[in-house]
Amino acid sequence: MIATLSAGAAGTAAEYRLQAVSVQCSASEHGLPRAVTVREVGPRDGFQNEPETIPTERKVALIDALARTGLRRLEVTSFVRPDVIPQLADAEEVLARIDVPAEVSISVLIPNERGLDKALALREGGVARERAAFDEINVFMSASETHNRKNVNRSIAQSLAGLEVVLARAREAGLRCEAVISTSFGCPYEGHVPVERVLELAARLRDAGAQEIGFGDTTGMANPLQVRRFFAQARQELRPGEGKGEGDRKTLQLTAHFHNTRGQGLANVLAALEAGVDSFESSFGELGGCPVPAGATGNIATEDLVSMLHEMGIQTGIDLQALLACSRQAQEVLGRPLGSHTLVAGPVQWNA
Ligand code: ZN
């Protein structure tokens, strides 16, 4: 397959023939998915990157509101060391206090085995209500050595070895597992990241038990040509969705996780859609970022993503107005305006 990245990771514009998508026509006519899944990561990724620690009851109120917007997957917190990320030191309390309907899957970020120990202890201890404290875990590592070292102080090999144990134990505990590979589209320290390396890591994580692989453009370096080519190759090599059932390791979901660092997040979404991707991660209000390097700004805003998808006739099951109310609520909590466009402009009104 395409092995060289030296001529630029993108491909040529001629390869990228985008058909005009008018408001009236259906997405499927253009080879785009009819519906996509959106996983909201703001309560974890967003709250973690705020300089101030948000009071637990405000977090709980925001999560409870998000859980009633039609979102079906919510990442609510992380089991990281409280001295490293004090903003999420209340993980247990948040999980005990949120009231999330059963049809919404709750996920937590697990950095390592110690984090998994804490999470499983909480889950087994039981929360005083019907549903489990959480349903899914999310693990992460970087595709570049330097970013991985700066982010988690481990080599890629060390991270992989640790996550293989975490994933095996989590699957044994009946949890759904997603692994996110950061810097999949480029590293601020190392530059181009070979697609083959990213896909090899993805295959290792899949074989270790991950049912979903998220590819993260952690510092917003990806462009649409590169994204389209990347996912075409990823789908060809990883063959998502071709297994026979839940127990089959080939039943794999591929997810795109874009940051809007350079304003290209939604362009990258369209490119991923064209390559057949139907699962995305985003943050309401465009909250979030990455601890390294400084200045790595937020994920694409969920409301901007949902607005674009709905305008293209792609279903998400999400109530955009309800979602915007959550972002307004977050603005109040944080005491500053948030960066999402739809929050400022409002949803498109064709009959205004
Ligand atoms: Zn992110």
Helices (H) and strands (E) in the chain, counts: 12, 8
Q: Say which residue the tokens 């209340």 belong to.
A: 90
Q: Say which residue the tokens 């874009």 belong to.
A: 258
pLDDT over 90 at 329, yes or no: yes
HSE-CB of 60 using CA atoms within 13 angstroms: 13
Judge whether 52 and 88 are in contact, CB under 8 Å.
no
Cis peptide bond upstream of 82, omega within 30: no
**Domains, the chain:** 33-345 (3.20.20.70)
Q: With the CA atoms of 65, 60, 138 and 251 taken in that order, what torsion angle do they form, in degrees rounded to the nearest 10?
A: -30
Q: Rounded distance, CA 313 to CA 178, Å? A: 28
> Lowest-pLDDT range, 217-221, 244-248, 337-341?
244-248
Q: Rounded distance, CA 87 to CA 42, Å? A: 13
H-assigned helices in 217-338: 224-238, 265-274, 302-311, 320-334
The catalytic site residues sit at 290
Cα of 347 vs centre of ligand 1, distance in Å, is 24
Cα of 258 vs centre of ligand 1, distance in Å, is 7
Judge whether 33 and 247 are in contact, CB under 8 Å.
no
pTM of the model: 0.89
Q: Rounded distance, CA 263 to CA 289, Å? A: 14
Encode pLDDT of 271-296 as tens digits: 999 999 999 999 999 988 665 566 66
In percent, the amount of the chain with pLDDT more than 90 equals 70
| Average predicted confidence (pLDDT) for the chain | 88
Cα of 287 vs centre of ligand 1, distance in Å, is 9
Cα of 288 vs centre of ligand 1, distance in Å, is 7
Cα of 298 vs centre of ligand 1, distance in Å, is 7
Encode pLDDT of 138-161 as tens digits: 999 999 999 999 989 999 999 999
Cα of 45 vs centre of ligand 1, distance in Å, is 7
The confidence score (pLDDT) of residue 134 equals 94
pLDDT over 90 at 339, yes or no: no
The confidence score (pLDDT) of residue 233 equals 97
Q: Rounded distance, CA 352 to CA 348, Å? A: 9
Angle formed at CA 126 by CA 123 and CA 129, multiple of 5 degrees: 120
The confidence score (pLDDT) of residue 291 equals 59
Tell me which residue of 58, 36, 33, 38 sits closest to 47, measured CA to CA: 58
Q: Say which residue the tokens 């660092």 belong to.
A: 261
Three-state secondary structure call for residue 219: coil
Query: For the stretch 58-71, what's the b/e string if a residue is b when 16 or more beta carbons lie within 10 angstroms of its beta carbon?
Result: ebbbbbebbbebbb
DSSP 8-state assignment for residue 263: S
pLDDT over 70 at 20, yes or no: no
> Lowest-pLDDT range, 177-181, 223-227, 286-290?
286-290
Judge whether 22 and 309 are in contact, CB under 8 Å.
no
The confidence score (pLDDT) of residue 25 equals 55
Cα of 78 vs centre of ligand 1, distance in Å, is 14
Cα of 259 vs centre of ligand 1, distance in Å, is 6
Mean pLDDT of 37-64: 91
The confidence score (pLDDT) of residue 84 equals 84
